[in-house]
Copies of this chain bind each other. A is one copy, B any other.
Amino acid sequence: MAKSEKINFSTPSGFPEFLPGEKRLEVYLLDTIRRVFESYGFTPIETPAVERLEVLQAKGNQGDNIIYGINPILPPNRQAEKEKAGESGSEARALKFDQTVPLAAYIARHLNDLNFPFARYQMDVVFRGERAKDGRFRQFRQCDIDVVGRRELSLLYDAQMPAIITEIFTAINIGDFLIRINNRKILTGFFQSVGIEESKIKSCIGIIDNLEKIGEAKVKQELEKEGISPEQTQKIIEFVNIKGTVDDMLDKLKHLAQIMPEAEQFNLGVTELEAVITGVRNLGVPENRFCIDLSIARGLDYYTGTVYETTLLGHEALGSICSGGRYEELVGVFLGEKMPGVGISIGLTRLMSRLIKAGILNTLAPTPAQVMVVNLQTELMPLYLKVSQDLRKAGINVITSFDKRGLGKQFQLADKQGIQFCVIIGADEAAAQKSSLKDLKTGEQVEVGLANLAEEVKQRLVPKG
């Protein structure tokens, strides 16, 4: 068979693909995340990869993102159809770049078939035409949850988010993390109170959001560019740098609120933040897992209340590993209805690839098989097949070897794939309805009756990596 000449079969730049052991890790993470999401009653949805361009671009939805339009390519033998209606290429369509705009469209499409508050999770891949560098991908999977209400939505939904974040990152066991909570109304209100014009507040919040990334000096410069006075800047910097325990912070904020009774936004933000913190505590989130951080702003300008970021302690350079917040005017965009929502997002593809690189997560074995029934004598194959099926019926993942090479080679192949056990049956053993069970991890080999084999394997199985 001739090799196809000159075909570049590598993946297009920025479109990642995983080896089996990496993909198995992703599947494990997705299962774990899903289990936590579902335990809070979030239900799965999936929106198409493709939406109408006008949906993706409505009301500036596209933001700064480069998105991918799609256009039909006819096969060589169907070029004659180009002008026909085979695939009406007339409507502009593009790949989704996030899951928030599609959520808004989904709710608009199915309004009367959904129950509110509508709590959904979505773990689809999304597409952005960014420069493929620094662990940025053009296709990546996001694990998002949002609860959306009609007209109003309890702040206790905001309080559930840190509980969910805590359970997920505890379950996947990546070390100590800290959820940093703030409320955009507090920032907006404080900016108002120091006399910053309404029209500049969103961009100022965007600048503050970069404080940790670009440092104080650069933030001061950028605020100056926005026309903020040095005195105002000083007050802002001092304010967002207030540190302390959760209770200290709440006390300080409540004190400020008291001495600024006219600062409505600020007062409302403090009240909201306190209600959220109370809920977080009532949900049993450990005190060392969350804090109030007034410098957390979230760049996206649709957030209106609670905002969250999550830092992996000792690995701050990773950036936030789970972020989100409360918004008012996002989901109702297609319906012209106020639909407040609160949500969080884990950028799983990026997170996983960075946690693997940092040695925090290990890839799994390349196969889910736990047992290989080896091929010692081909004439015993009917028995090997039967034994394999019996193990499978007991819930064990089994590869039956059809390899004609010696046992050594078969053991080697099993070991390379991370299979823990080999089952060896020769003619004598077959006659006696027995097998040798070899543990490739310890080298130990024991004789086990075929009737007890599944039970024996289950007892000896080390949870499969």
Contacts and interface: CB of A to CB of B under 8 A. Distances in A.
A168 interface: no
Contacts of A95: 49, 70
A1 B329 contact: yes
A109 B12 CA distance: 12
A67 interface: yes
A417 interface: yes
Interface in A108-161: 108-110, 113-115, 117, 119-120, 125, 127, 129-131, 138-139, 154, 156-157, 160
Contacts of A77: 64
Copies of this chain, complex-wide, total 2
Interface in A11-41: 11-13, 15-20, 23-24, 26-27, 38-41
A71 to B, nearest CB: 5
Nearest to A141: B46
A61 to B, nearest CB: 10
A109 B27 CA distance: 21
Given A282-B382, A397-B41, A75 B69 contact: no
A399 B40 contact: yes
Contacts of A157: 402
A75 B65 contact: yes
B41 A399 contact: yes
A72 B129 contact: yes
Given A49-B139, A120-B20, A12 B106 contact: no
Q: Considering residues A52, A70, A95, A163, which has the most beta carbons from chain B within 10 angstroms of its beta carbon? A: A70
Interface in A73-132: 73-78, 86-88, 91, 93-95, 105-106, 108-110, 113-115, 117, 119-120, 125, 127, 129-131
A381 interface: yes
A284 B389 contact: yes
Interface in A286-312: none
Interface residues of A, number: 120
Nearest to A108: B9
A347 interface: no
A110 B27 contact: no
A70 B73 contact: no
Interface string A1-15: 111100111111101
A129 to B, nearest CB: 4
A398 interface: yes
B94 A73 contact: yes
A88 to B, nearest CB: 8
Contacts of A127: 49-50
Contacts of A385: 156, 279, 282-284
26 contacts: A3-B334, A4-B334, A4-B336, A9-B52, A9-B105, A9-B109, A10-B52, A11-B109, A12-B48, A12-B50, A12-B51, A15-B48, A17-B109, A18-B45, A20-B114, A40-B399, A41-B398, A43-B368, A49-B49, A49-B95, A50-B138, A66-B78, A69-B71, A69-B72, A87-B131, A282-B385
